[in-house]
Structure 1
Amino acid sequence: MASLYKHLRVHQIFGANTDVGKTILTTALSRASAAKKFPVFYLKPVSTGALEDADDRHVTKFGGKASKLIQAECLFQYDEPVSPHLAARLKDSNQTSRLCFLSSQVPSDDIFVKSVAERIRHHAKKTGRGAHMYVETAGGVHSPALSGTTQIDCYRPLFLPIVLIGDSKLGGISSTISAYESLLLRGCIIDAVVLFREDYYRNWEYLTAYFKERGIHVSVVDPPPARLSDPKEDAEATEKYYESVVSPDIVNGVSDLVDYLDARHAVRVQDLESMPKRTLETIWWPFVQHGTVKGPEDVTVIDSAYGDFFSVARAKQQSSNSPISILSPDLDGSASWWTQTLGHAHPALTMAAARASGRYGHVMFPQATHLPALRLAERLVHKGPGKGWASRAFFSDNGSTGMEVALKMALRAYTLRNGSKFTREERKNLGVLGLKGSYHGDTIGAMDACEDTGVYTCEWHDAKGYWFDPPSVGFKDGKPVISVPSSLSAGAKAHTVPAKSLSWIYDVEDRLHTPLARAYALYVRRALDKIEERGQKLGALVIEPLLMGAGGMIFVDPLFQRVMIDTVRGRRSGKSTEWSGMPVIFDEVFVGLNRIGMESTGPLLGVNPDISVNAKVLTGGLIPLCVTMASKSIFNAFLSDKKAEALLHGHSYTAHPIGCEVANETLAQIDRLEKSEDWKVAKGKWNEYQGEGESKVWSLWDPQFVAEVSKLPNVKEAMSLGSVLAINFEDESAGYTSFFAQNLLQPLKTASPEGGLSAAPGGAPYGINYRTLGNVAYFMTSLNTTSAVIRSVEDKIWKTIAN
């Protein structure tokens, strides 16, 4: 990930196109830095063409009087003067490496980026005082890297501040602005634009005004002399040219540009160092007790994010000449509150957002439509989680409001069918049936659909309903078990029921005829009878299918949820799209769209809901959006010629095109992931571990790891589905307010070295940014997190809790 040192100022040189003078201007920058007595490190990661013409040799040759301060090197040199991706593949190319990187295969982006990052770390350790480093790319912004990935995306994990060399030739205005916007779309820090003063096309005049309007520093440099046929004369002319352009007497010349880049570096460092104190003076965090925050050292400063990692500031560890980077990688261990789907800063999602923003911005939605919203609704209703039961898709802004919509839908449908039996007061106090530990969001209505626990509540909270204590699923002592609470045990103590396998637990249809299913049904029926006897009115069943997140990562026995649904509906088939008994709401905000290894939980449970809610994964973690789907019978409850009977709910940004387009792209990416090798391998591991052919459930986490963790003496239970891993620790004061898991796992936050190269981009040691739910620790990956990263995290977790 990104590296930032107080004493080593690093800039990456990108060109708006090929042959725009990157090497000439980088040589001038290196020479100007050396003239100011700074040690200079010039790095050309990839070079193609004859060795004698290599850019690093040019920098060394024209280093000037202070050339002894300049160290130039190249990592990957190819003889063929073609694009790097082609040079690396040509069978006859003579591949060499200045760092003894010898391989018959084309280096991957990961290896390439780690090679560059290692050189930056090496130079930071080598120099004990202020130094400058320039990393020069090859070709234009989107020229292919060795792997074929465009340079801008290949280098993005390093997140180095950029000097963009503009194009002074015909068409250069367009190519320069296009390159700038491409960098901007990747979130890059563009400190300066440099270009030659060419007096025919005069691009520099237009581009100077253009970039200054955008607060970007522009330096205009005289062009080099025409190349001379005599090598000696050409070298002399080139030397005179460099002497002239790096002169400190030139206003806004190369020498001044070096000073400006130093100033930008200092501002960035100062911002990172001051942010903790400024944050504590201004911000009120969610779900944080500020009284436990000791000081600025407890504030996590995120400078950027990429893939599964944050680049986090470590300013407190940094002295003026420390070889330790101010920034270091932290794994985003909670998938940024369960939202990350494809990792941070995924370029496809960024482009989708830009595409919709450029076409629409935001447009109002009532009685209107646009392609991003229509395509998303059709995808979800007809091909996705709504296939076979849903009729309509209703858009809102986030999971909590999506659940508010679902509750309105369900309770309206219920009162229309049964309203004549109720007084107006009874209708106003209709409750829901659910599970203890449920959480449906922090808006008041969503809170009212949950038990009053004293945690996610406020003074206006009025819990309306009845909540069962759910049986749960997990690994104990290496074996899958079902934990049955005492409330379901006819007065006996809570106990566990051994399972044939995890696959068997999730084979709901097969288990419907077991004694446990009959016990569940009897328990639910008796509870509903008592509720009716008390006169309490319930209008909907609301569940988080299979996994209740905020309540403590409770993996609910799917059989119990199926029995609940069948009981309230008065049937088992669940095939009809006409609801009966009371409407059933699936809150799939957290679990939906493959977060737990399945697009929707309905097929596994063997029943469809009447209403379901999807968010979080939906937009890949880039932007809030929620979709509430409903069956035709639910929709018809609001259908009439009276406006007052419509679903009068919405917000200004309903179905905002940016969110819808990002969601469409996210779902397309997930479709590809379902066919990926990583998923096939992970599913194969779980099939092999359970030894029962193809399993209905699987995880990106290793099954053997989950089982072994469950055997540890301080672990009560462990469980995993999809990208989610949960570890329930033994703790006398168990509950959300417990600090047990947080304190136990504290060492994970420290960036510790690993054997071999780190799994983090750039190869630096990384810590884990994690969240806990009292005595329950959970870890969550993106859906495309590599197996190498997950295995690395498993090792770190094991070393922390097993010792």
Structure 2
Amino acid sequence: MRIERTMARVSVSGGLWQKLIAVQIYGANTGVGKTVFSTLLGAHFGARSSPTKWTVRYIKPVSTGPADEADDDYVRRYSGSPVSTLFKFNDAVSPHVAARGASHVPSDDHLNQELAKCLQQGAGSLPLEQADMGLAIVETAGGVLSPGPSGTPQADIFRALRLPAVLVGDHRLGGIAATISAAESLAIRGYDIDAVVCFENQSRYENAVYLKQYFEERSISTFDIPWIPDLDGLIPGTREEEAVMRQYYDARSREKHVSEVARCIIDRHATRMGNLESMASRTKQAIWHPFTQHKHVTNAEDVLVFDSAYGDYFQVKETSSSKHSDSALFPALDGSASWWTQGYGHGNPQLSLAAAYAAGRYGHVMFAGAIHQPALELAETMLKRLDNPRLNKVFYTDNGSTATEVGIKMALRAACKHYDWDGSNEEVGVLGLKASYHGDTIGAMDASEPCVFNEKVDWYRGRGFWFDYPTYKMVKGRWVVEPPEGMEEDLGPVKHFDSQDEIFNLDARSPSLRYETYIVQTLDKLVKERGAKFGALIMEPIVLGAGGMIFVDPLFQQSLLRVVRRYDFGPAQGAKSTLKGNEDAWSGIPVVFDEVFTGLYRLGRFSSGSFLGVHPDISVHAKLLTGGLLPLSITTASDSIFQAFWGDEKSEALLHGHSYTAHAVGCQVANVSLEIAKKMQKSEEWSTFRKQWEMRHRVHVKDGCTGGREEKGLWSMWSQDFVIEVSKHRRVAHVNALGSVLAVSLVDSAGCGYNSSASVGLRDALLKLTSEDQIRIHSRILGNVIYLMASMTAKPTHLKAVEETFVSRLKEVL
């Protein structure tokens, strides 16, 4: 079976139009009467003329079985509505089986795009008079989770459109359970169920009676409809049978049973549209947004209204100024991966099911002095896959900032205890890198130099010293490592490299005596001359995210760690030392890696610290940990760090925690997320991405995770040709691409940094539609830097379309 894969359009807009109501008919099972209900609904709306005249269309995305038994012909015959079937297969079996003998099988993307095109054409062809409306009835095949041609369950295939659903219940024996299960399957995937209908033929099962009470307790309108008349004695296909059925549809479609369903569908559509229209203005009254100067938000249309999200795309409300069609929504690529958290697609059913399972099994249970399986499994998995012999303890917190704060607490206590410092009465700071940022809680803020994020925070003190450093980047098609301006004498001149791999070939480049000399001399001035005390080195491996997507020369970070571990920060106090004899003992001061942003494959590896070929004493992980579904974070530590909190009194323990520490739902989702990531390593998509970055002459790159040497080149989801092309644009200063991250720094004559507005125009242009062949991209900026992030499950064909749009907008705007 060959599944079609390449499509020019890679996204579809959500199924919501001003003048067209599209409703998807799902069945609790096969044979429950979906087509009968679709016919009744079509006949009802087709007969309505006052006060609104309705245009009705029936669409069957996938049909199986002989042509003379096709549902579309049946619906046309008895409702009088125009019908369309998008893909037909001859065998009367499940679509995934029927498709096996076909020469061409639509991919899920293609099937969705064809359905969206059909609906959009229907919306665009409606008369423009105020009183006219359209109804599109989309009938699925089989049950809610019956597979489509590709084998994907239908509820997952069509989720991108998220059409409001009408669920046809099962009126047969066992149908109550089947109907409730089907409704839950839709709900867990984010569908809105407009109504549940159940055919009732006065049988002893009374399914409709039970289902009506069950669903209406859950605020889902439920309707019972009389079943088709007894056709015993009538030969199928005869005029007599047809006459009986015509009488049934003519009569029942006008009765209150179907009228009430129709009114419910219309009312739900009006409510959804009204809510969508008012959300932006209501937001200005109730919401305080993060990282926003609200004085500058003067227009309600500046607030993006998200109706839903699925895969790599948001479904965003169209504004009056950007409308190109009757559609109320447009798809926009989630170009920031939802602020760096999104890993495996919005609405991922595997993660949703994991969350539902843990919520049902545990809800939330307290964690102090207790354990549950998801938390234990996650801790053991993380320690194993980080493959850092120093780490053997996991501490749970809620988010990256608090996890980093815990890591700082751990390191400072260990250092103070070792050196017999009193951190409560004397200043003990941290070492780090300029432009680094570790979170918005007050302790994590203090581990960063003064910057736009913290300089107006009244309690901020900035406790430490932050090294300047060389950065690496692609400039006009060439990879370079360059020092900060004016520091060529300390850190060396600009150096050119043939590939990114060569920059990371640290064994060939090290030891860097120049880097180490600069670091030692700086520490001597701070520690020996000024008497400064430092209790930790904290840094983000490779990429400083919030600081502006700055890519640090990995050799400098490796050199800094090595110097810090052998540097004499003060005499240990004999018996006070907890380090002697410990195999994982830290030296100098504890090293903390903040992998909140860079870890868990964001840069193409499980641990971004592995690029440096050295192991931290503490590492922090969040964001991609749960695939972007829930907040959860961990701080991992060595036993020698753990021993610093060992004592007779409770006050000596690490007295830190949150009400939702190690919440079972987050831990369960994280376990599933890590399993998905493990499979992605061997996926066809990742193999394609790697091939885009293969070099003619492979470079040995040391893998810090395994401790061995592998012919493993660096790679990115963004193609090498695209990165080179962008880097050569006259307004582009430099580009970086590693793993899922693309960062483009634009030239700004007024100066770079967070306050620069150089990238605003490009950001805004990416969100506008100028051609039907291009996509819209929602992106975030950091001053003069505009960045894009792919999800871990992004497809090469999808990113190719993103690249084409980016280059086009870059040329248009700049």
Matches within 5 A, 1:23-62: 23-37=35-49, 38-62=54-78
Matches within 5 A, 1:742-781: 742-753=760-771, 755=773, 766-781=775-790
Contact persistence 2:431–2:534 (CA under 8 A)? yes
Q: What SS does the aligned partner of 2:212 have?
A: helix
Whether 1:606 and 2:640 are equivalent positions in the alignment is no
Equivalent residue, structure 2, for 1:210:
214
Matches within 5 A, 1:249-648: 250-251=255-256, 253-316=257-320, 323-381=325-383, 383-419=384-420, 424-426=424-426, 429-457=427-455, 458-486=457-485, 488-490=487-489, 496-513=494-511, 517-532=512-527, 533-570=529-566, 577-648=584-655
Whether 1:10 and 2:12 are equivalent positions in the alignment is no
Structure 1 residue 751, shift from structure 2 partner? 2.7
Deviations 1:643-669 (A, max 9, x none): 111111010111000000000000000
Counterparts of 1:315 and 1:190 in 2: how far apart (Å)? 26
Structure 1 residue 738, shift from structure 2 partner? 1.5
Equivalent residue, structure 1, for 2:199:
196
Counterparts of 1:707 and 1:559 in 2: how far apart (Å)? 24
Contact persistence 2:567–2:588 (CA under 8 A)? no
Structure 1 residue 509, shift from structure 2 partner? 2.2
- The range that moved more, 453-462 or 681-690, is 681-690
Q: What SS does the aligned partner of 1:187 have?
A: coil
Equivalent residue, structure 1, for 2:576:
none
Contact persistence 1:273–1:315 (CA under 8 A)? no
Contact persistence 1:311–1:330 (CA under 8 A)? yes
Counterparts of 1:695 and 1:471 in 2: how far apart (Å)? 24
Equivalent residue, structure 1, for 2:704:
none
User: When the two structures are superposed, what TM-score results if normalisation uses the length of structure 1?
Assistant: 0.92
Distance 1:401 1:424, change over 3 A: closer
Deviations 1:226-255 (A, max 9, x none): 2352321111111111122112xx44x112
Structure 1 residue 219, shift from structure 2 partner? 1.4
Whether 1:741 and 2:737 are equivalent positions in the alignment is no
Counterparts of 2:634 and 2:752 in 1: how far apart (Å)? 34
Counterparts of 1:258 and 1:502 in 2: how far apart (Å)? 61
Equivalent residue, structure 1, for 2:574:
none
Structure 1 residue 139, shift from structure 2 partner? 0.7
Structure 1 residue 546, shift from structure 2 partner? 0.5
Counterparts of 2:423 and 2:110 in 1: how far apart (Å)? 70
Deviations 1:271-303 (A, max 9, x none): 111111011111110011112223111110100
Structure 1 residue 602, shift from structure 2 partner? 3.2
Q: 2:679 aligns with which of 672, 686, 691?
A: 672
Q: Give the counterpart letter for 1:564 in structure 2.
A: L
Structure 1 residue 748, shift from structure 2 partner? 0.6
Q: What SS does the aligned partner of 1:658 have?
A: helix
Contact persistence 2:60–2:138 (CA under 8 A)? yes
Matches within 5 A, 1:35-114: 35-37=47-49, 38-63=54-79, 67=80, 70-89=81-100, 91=101, 104-114=103-113
Equivalent residue, structure 2, for 1:242:
249
Whether 1:223 and 2:227 are equivalent positions in the alignment is yes
Counterparts of 2:482 and 2:439 in 1: how far apart (Å)? 26
Contact persistence 1:585–1:610 (CA under 8 A)? yes
Q: What SS does the aligned partner of 2:386 have?
A: coil
Q: Give the counterpart letter for 1:561 in structure 2.
A: Q
Structure 1 residue 150, shift from structure 2 partner? 1.0
Q: Give the counterpart letter for 2:535 in structure 1.
A: G
Q: Give the counterpart letter for 1:149 in structure 2.
A: T
Q: 1:153 aligns with which of 135, 152, 156?
A: 156
Q: What SS does the aligned partner of 1:481 have?
A: strand
Contact persistence 1:198–1:204 (CA under 8 A)? no
Contact persistence 2:535–2:590 (CA under 8 A)? yes
Q: 1:730 aligns with which of 734, 738, 747?
A: 747
Distance 1:357 1:699, change over 3 A: same
Contact persistence 1:709–1:715 (CA under 8 A)? yes
Counterparts of 2:665 and 2:524 in 1: how far apart (Å)? 48
Contact persistence 1:173–1:203 (CA under 8 A)? yes
- The range that moved more, 76-85 or 27-36, is 76-85
Counterparts of 1:747 and 1:689 in 2: how far apart (Å)? 37
Deviations 1:302-322 (A, max 9, x none): 000000000001042599xx8
Counterparts of 2:198 and 2:625 in 1: how far apart (Å)? 43
Structure 1 residue 501, shift from structure 2 partner? 2.6
Contact persistence 1:434–1:541 (CA under 8 A)? yes
Counterparts of 1:717 and 1:345 in 2: how far apart (Å)? 35
Whether 1:703 and 2:720 are equivalent positions in the alignment is yes
- The range that moved more, 452-461 or 697-706, is 452-461
Q: What SS does the aligned partner of 2:190 have?
A: coil
Equivalent residue, structure 1, for 2:32:
20
Q: Give the counterpart letter for 2:487 in structure 1.
A: L
Q: Give the counterpart letter for 1:379 in structure 2.
A: T
Deviations 1:560-596 (A, max 9, x none): 0111101110189xx9621000000000000001100
Q: Give the counterpart letter for 1:453 in structure 2.
A: C
Deviations 1:20-70 (A, max 9, x none): 01101110000000011311000111112221221111111112xxx3xx2
> Aligned pairs, how many?
762
Counterparts of 2:724 and 2:483 in 1: how far apart (Å)? 20
- The range that moved more, 576-585 or 720-729, is 576-585
Structure 1 residue 454, shift from structure 2 partner? 3.5
Counterparts of 1:51 and 1:423 in 2: how far apart (Å)? 82
Q: What SS does the aligned partner of 1:358 have?
A: helix
Q: Give the counterpart letter for 1:139 in structure 2.
A: G
Structure 2 runs not aligned, ≥5 long: 1-11, 569-581, 701-710
Equivalent residue, structure 2, for 1:118:
117
Contact persistence 1:380–1:387 (CA under 8 A)? no
Q: Give the counterpart letter for 1:39 in structure 2.
A: T
Equivalent residue, structure 2, for 1:657:
664
Contact persistence 1:689–1:704 (CA under 8 A)? no
Whether 1:181 and 2:180 are equivalent positions in the alignment is no
Counterparts of 1:192 and 1:385 in 2: how far apart (Å)? 48
Counterparts of 2:385 and 2:23 in 1: how far apart (Å)? 46
Whether 1:167 and 2:170 are equivalent positions in the alignment is yes
Q: What SS does the aligned partner of 2:208 have?
A: helix
Q: What SS does the aligned partner of 2:402 have?
A: helix
Equivalent residue, structure 2, for 1:792:
801
Structure 1 residue 640, shift from structure 2 partner? 2.3
Q: What SS does the aligned partner of 1:687 have?
A: coil
Structure 1 runs not aligned, ≥5 long: 96-103, 756-764
Counterparts of 1:368 and 1:423 in 2: how far apart (Å)? 31
CA RMSD of superposed structures (Å): 1.8
Distance 1:258 1:423, change over 3 A: closer
Counterparts of 1:456 and 1:337 in 2: how far apart (Å)? 19
Counterparts of 1:432 and 1:481 in 2: how far apart (Å)? 29
